[in-house]
Amino acid sequence: MTGYAIAWDGKIVTLPRAGDLNPDGVSWAWIRDDDGNGIYDRRLVEFADTAFAAQGKRVGRISVSVVLIPRPDNPFDSDAVSIALPKSMGGDEEDRCLGYLYRHTIHNWGIANEGRKDLVARLAALSADGEVHFTATMLRDSDPADLERYRCADDEDDWDIPMRMPEFCLDLPDARIMGAAIGAFLAEHETDGCAAPAARDRGPHATHVQPAKPLTPMTRWHRRFLQEEAPRLRWLDELADKLIEDLVTNWVVNTRDMPPPPQYKIRRWGAGGSGVIVTNQDGGRIGKIRNHPLLEARLKKGHGGYLSFLLLANELDRPAAVEALAREGIVIPFDPSPGWLNASVEPGLHGWLDVYWSGNLAGLELKPGRVKWSV
């Protein structure tokens, strides 16, 4: 049990900070604005300027309050969820938009919730303002005031926006924990399994029919983004969903699914048989004993003592290899308890997919990254 639970005071739904549960945070879909007027970049920069000043800082890492807003008006995805500035910053939901949750994030939250993609909308329906509140982190390494020394007389307005952009990450737990927390919260607080959407003020642009918003003066870029970029990004997100499902279903191996271990053999070589290799039934090498490379230098200088470890081409061979070494009187620290090779597929930053194996090797709890794909 992680102890992570969604908070609700009867009016506002809040997703608490993940903190150490997920130090890397959750990535998000930043809206590229390379050919437009920089409205999204400028919005984030101005928010960062205000937030850092309010906390008496110019550089470093700070936490800020932001919200998730269901966006059924999105012309390409009625399940879209925007990441937006809080209402205290002024403006309607489009005026405050910073970007969107990745579609694979929404998909992964729904894995433990009957595959539903309306989870944020259901949470928002329980908030009086129709928005789900949470915390993000912003990081700045350089003081924006220092950039003035680089200004040239012919620089255009907002020339320094790219250099003032902070790193921005959602302080939320990973998909497994978040999905479980959402499911538990809705099971407790929804009365009929589908809470009625709460009425909310959509700002001065709202109408009674609430049609999709008309394009703003940045029409040229916005139209190109919707027609050219959005379909490509959606295709990539759908591909990521399929890859994750295929990896989880067909490729990620759990120890309970593994066949009986093979009978590996040990072969010694070198002076006094100091070299040790592990072979399969056909004599093919699958691993070898190595001394800790940082301690080999000390050993050569006569300081004595070294740490032996087993280097393998495939971590799935470790239980059988350790057993073969033990039969020869060579003990390698290893905890073969259930779950030592459990694997998880997790969306990484910028469209990367990461496969991790978690376990205990040489008495250390590890989570080594084994495979990485870019989509």
Sign of CA dihedral 268, 270, 276, 282: negative
Contacts of 48 (CB under 8 A, 6+ apart): 138, 140, 164, 165, 166
| Predicted local confidence at residue 205, as pLDDT | 40
Query: How far are the Cα atoms of 93, 276, 309, 334 from residue 306, in angstroms, in the given order?
Result: 61, 15, 10, 17
CA 85/CA 98 separation, integer angstroms: 7
Cβ count within 10 A of residue 210: 11
Mapped onto helix, strand or coil, the DSSP state of residue 115 is coil
CA 19/CA 67 separation, integer angstroms: 18
**For residue 357, what are the β-bridge partners?**
343
Q: State pLDDT tens for residues 52-85.
A: 999 999 899 999 999 999 999 888 888 999 999 9
Q: State pLDDT tens for residues 334-357.
A: 766 655 666 666 666 655 667 766
Place of tokens 């609700």: 8
The answer to whether the pTM exceeds 0.75 is: no
CA 115/CA 333 separation, integer angstroms: 41
CA 86/CA 316 separation, integer angstroms: 48
CA 338/CA 335 separation, integer angstroms: 9
| Predicted local confidence at residue 191, as pLDDT | 76
Contacts of 330 (CB under 8 A, 6+ apart): 266, 276, 289
Cβ count within 10 A of residue 154: 6
Contacts of 174 (CB under 8 A, 6+ apart): 21, 22, 26, 346
CA 66/CA 106 separation, integer angstroms: 18
Mapped onto helix, strand or coil, the DSSP state of residue 129 is coil
Query: How far are the Cα atoms of 48, 50, 52, 63, 67 from residue 55, in angstroms, in the given order?
Result: 11, 9, 5, 9, 19
| Predicted local confidence at residue 77, as pLDDT | 86
Give the residue ranges of the chain where pLDDT is below 50: 1, 193-220, 293-299, 303
Contacts of 66 (CB under 8 A, 6+ apart): 83, 84, 85, 86, 98, 133, 134, 135, 136
